[in-house]
Amino acid sequence: MSTTTSDVELKGRHRTMWASGDYPSMVETFLLPLGPRLVDACGIGPGMRVLDVAAGTGNAAIPAAERGAEITASDLTPELLEAGRRAEAARVELEWVEGDAERLPFDDESFDVVMSSIGAMFAPHHEPVADELFRTCRAEGTIGLLGWTPEGMIGALFRTMGPFAPAPPPGAKPPPLWGNEDHVRELFGDRVEWRTFEREMLDVTAFERPHDYGEHFKERYGPTIVARANAQRDGREAEFEEALERFCEEWNIGTPDDARFEQEYLLAVGIRR
């Protein structure tokens, strides 16, 4: 897959988006359980060579390293890798490598396990990502993915933000499609023998009121920050704020003074043929 000027610009915008706000603090606030869940499902243990694609701050990579595996954490955004380095400095050792999920800088069949926890799903072009996950995993190795579902809360969040966000680039597909079993099967075809397709819930109780959830995303989550800024440029900021407030109220399954949310994700684990 050749690199074009427009593609370089697109990836530059992606880096800027994920470096905006404070994604590392979002991980600490309510996303921490996801990484260990994926590590468990992949059966990671001592001596395994593991690649975490779109690793962010190492939510899955660091727990995998704590199991004794040899970990490489790759991400497009240097600021997230640096936050990960600080997080693991006193605990474990792993290799942090800047890399695009659509063009991973690793040799064929270099790893026993290739995984991604709500990371690779955000690369705009799904087919090359699947090709790279397959290419870098050895034969009979494990490919493990965790992604938000289209029907779940984060899928709904992206539908809420979509009318306010900048137009997606040509060929881009919605990130939550990675949470659809049929889509994942189609991306990999007969190259992977899937052993696990499980839909599970992340229980979120970190926010007192429903709207606190929306405020958290507006301050810290790159895609929400970008959508809000675009709404401001279009003179639709009030409309965006109202839509986000309605979203938080609709998805709150707690009380107005003790909010609780459930974020559905798909756990997919298979063996590379």
> What's the rounded Cα separation, in Å, for the pair 188 and 100?
19
Which CATH class, in words, describes the domain spanning 5-205+262-272?
alpha beta
Q: Which residues of the chain have pLDDT under 50?
A: 1-2
Q: What is the pLDDT of residue 3?
A: 52
Q: What is the pLDDT of residue 87?
A: 73
Residue partners of 228: CB distance under 8 A and separation at least 6 = 164, 218, 237, 240
Summarised one tens digit per residue, pLDDT across range 7-56 is 788 899 999 999 999 999 999 999 999 999 999 999 999 999 999 999 99
- Read off the DSSP letter of residue 28: I
Tokens 């992340």 -> residue: 202
Task: Name the residue ranges covered by the structural domains of the chain.
Answer: 5-205+262-272
DSSP 33-84: THHHHHHHHHT--TT-EEEEET-TTTTTHHHHHHTT-EEEEEES-HHHHHHH
Helices (H) and strands (E) in the chain, counts: 11, 7
Q: What is the pLDDT of residue 188?
A: 98
| This prediction's pTM | 0.95
Q: What is the pLDDT of residue 5?
A: 57
> What's the rounded Cα separation, in Å, for the pair 80 and 27?
11
Pairing of strands 111-117, 261-272: unpaired
